[in-house]
Structure 1
Amino acid sequence: MKQEALAIRHVYFEDLGSLEHVLGDRGHLVRYLDVGRGRIDAPNPLDPSLLVVLGGPIGAYDDAHYPHLAPLLAMLEKRIAAGMPTIGICLGSQLIARALGARVYPSGGLELGWSPLTLTEAGRASALRHFETDGAPIPVFHWHGDTFELPENATLLASTDQCAHQAFTWGEHVLALQCHPEVLADRFESWLVTYPGDIARSGTTVAKLRDDTARHGANLERAARAMFGEWLDRFGSKRADV
Structure 2
Amino acid sequence: MLHDPARATHKQPVLIVLHQERSSAGRVGQMLEEKGYPLDIRRPVLGEKLPGTLASHAGAVVFGGPMSANDPDDFVKREIDWLDIPLKENKPYLGICLGAQMLARQLGGKVEADREQRTEIGWYPIRPTEHGRLLMHWPQMVYHFHREGFSLPHGAKLLAEGDIYPNQAFRYGQNAWGVQFHAELTRAMMHRWVVHGAHRFVLPNAQQGRDHLDGRMIFDAPLRAWLSNFLDLIFEKAHLTV
> Do both share a fold (TM > 0.5)?
yes
Equivalent residue runs for 1:60-75 within 5 Å: 60-63=69-72, 66-75=73-82
Q: 1:156 to 1:14 in 2, by over 3 A?
A: farther
2:181: which partner in 1? 179
Structure showing greater relative contact order (alpha-carbon pairs closer than 8 Å, 6 or more residues apart): 1
Question: Do structure 1's residue 46 and structure 2's residue 87 form an aligned pair?
Answer: no
Letter in 2 for 1:117: I
Of residues 66-75 and 219-228 in structure 1, the stretch that sits farther from structure 2 once superposed is 219-228
Separation (CA, whole Å) in 2 of partners of 1:152 and 1:199: 33
Question: Do structure 1's residue 55 and structure 2's residue 64 form an aligned pair?
Answer: yes
CA displacement at 1:85 relative to structure 2: 1.0
1:18 to 11, 27, 30: 27
Three-state SS of the structure 2 residue aligned to 1:218 is: helix
- Whether the aligned pair in 2 keeps the contact of 1:11 and 1:55 (CA below 8 Å) is no
Three-state SS of the structure 2 residue aligned to 1:235 is: coil
Separation (CA, whole Å) in 2 of partners of 1:31 and 1:194: 27
Question: Do structure 1's residue 228 and structure 2's residue 235 form an aligned pair?
Answer: no
Separation (CA, whole Å) in 1 of partners of 2:165 and 2:234: 23
Letter in 1 for 2:131: A
Separation (CA, whole Å) in 1 of partners of 2:184 and 2:82: 23
Letter in 1 for 2:230: M
- Whether the aligned pair in 2 keeps the contact of 1:15 and 1:54 (CA below 8 Å) is no
Q: 1:200 to 1:94 in 2, by over 3 A?
A: same
2:6: which partner in 1? none
Q: How many residues align?
A: 227
Question: Do structure 1's residue 96 and structure 2's residue 103 form an aligned pair?
Answer: yes
1:143: which partner in 2? 145
Letter in 1 for 2:196: T
Separation (CA, whole Å) in 2 of partners of 1:149 and 1:231: 22
Three-state SS of the structure 1 residue aligned to 2:24 is: coil
Letter in 1 for 2:208: T
Question: Do structure 1's residue 122 and structure 2's residue 131 form an aligned pair?
Answer: yes
- Whether the aligned pair in 2 keeps the contact of 1:14 and 1:55 (CA below 8 Å) is no
Q: Which sections of structure 2, spanning at least 5 residues, go unmatched? A: 1-9
Separation (CA, whole Å) in 2 of partners of 1:142 and 1:2: 31
Please tell me the root mean square deviation across aligned C-alpha atoms, in Å. 2.0
Q: TM-score, normalised by structure 2?
A: 0.86
Q: TM-score, normalised by structure 1?
A: 0.86
Q: 1:44 to 1:67 in 2, by over 3 A?
A: same
CA displacement at 1:236 relative to structure 2: 7.7
- Whether the aligned pair in 2 keeps the contact of 1:40 and 1:71 (CA below 8 Å) is no
More strand per residue: 1
Quick one: percent identity of the two aligned structures? 27
Q: Which sections of structure 1, spanning at least 5 residues, go unmatched? A: 238-242
CA displacement at 1:120 relative to structure 2: 0.3
Tell me the alpha carbon deviations over residues 71-93 of structure 1, each in whole angstroms, 9 at most, x when there is no partner.
11121012212211111000000
Three-state SS of the structure 2 residue aligned to 1:130 is: coil
CA displacement at 1:190 relative to structure 2: 0.9
- Whether the aligned pair in 1 keeps the contact of 2:92 and 2:234 (CA below 8 Å) is no
2:18 to 3, 9, 28: 9
1:240: which partner in 2? none
